[in-house]
Amino acid sequence: MPAPAIPATDRQDASVPDLSGHEDFGESFYLSARRNDSFGRLPFSRGSQLAGRLTEGQVSVLISPMNEKKGGQLRLGVLLSGGGRTLMNILDAIADGRIAAEVAAVICSRECKGAERARARGLDVHVVPYEQMPDKETYSGKITELLDAAAVDLICMAGFLSFWRIPPHYDGRVINIHPALLPAFGGKGFYGEKVHAAALESGAKISGCTVHFVNNEAYDDGPIILQRCVPVAEGDTVDTLAARIFEQECIAYPEAIRLFAAGRLRIDGRVVHVKQE
């Protein structure tokens, strides 16, 4: 539901257009701006300054929700460090029509089985080892550069074990799936088998998976999009519990991507509201 075009002239360091009447769009937007024969799209947050200068000729600005894909397929960037099961799940969901998307780039923190599987599918794969970078800022900058070059709409974490500092223009556009019902069994050090082992050791009777937005504040801390539950059965092992939860991950992650693509997610502080179809 984009707003009408808003004309502007000779704007330099201008404030964003009046957003009254567009509260349903939440805090994150795209400005699609046309000046003369040039066209560009700038991300911004409510109350921020334009992320660029508009200084020549007539400008038309179109406001639209940052998480609404208008036409074409959603372009995904996938970040991984391991076997690539989550990437394969996403590709299967694309192939069977559950989500209208394409994987535009795969970024791996090391050479791994996931990188091999992505290459075998003909995907654009980049291996960026953290230990080869002088510091976190340089590493994060390289990841961002690759995602920008691929013009991705949404970044999907798929077992990515290195730290990437999310730049402002990707706020609200990075999601992750975690194999537990956050906030339980989440945070730094909780990944893979360690999550399931902790759930079993705690005596929990229910576990599951969580798809959430990612922020720079803490691991597994962003607003929750959706969760799916499974019982913890008597006699479960790490492997049997992990297998039961992964079945639900194969449903949950594609569904979250589909909701994002449809523009049905709105972040309000810690809460994600899902708009009705």
**C-alpha–C-alpha distance, residues 63 and 109, integer Å:** 35
Active site residue 178: yes
Res 68: pLDDT: 55
In this predicted model, which residue has the larger pLDDT, 69 or 81? Answer: 81
Q: How confident is the model at residue 67 (pLDDT cuts 50, 70, 90)?
A: low
| Tokens coding 38 | 């040039």
Flag whether pLDDT at 21 surpasses 80. no
Active-site hit among 22, 126, 169, 178: 178
Res 53: pLDDT: 35
Sheet holding 6-9, edge to edge: 6-9, 58-65, 28-35, 38-45
Res 54: pLDDT: 35
Amino acid identity at 98: R
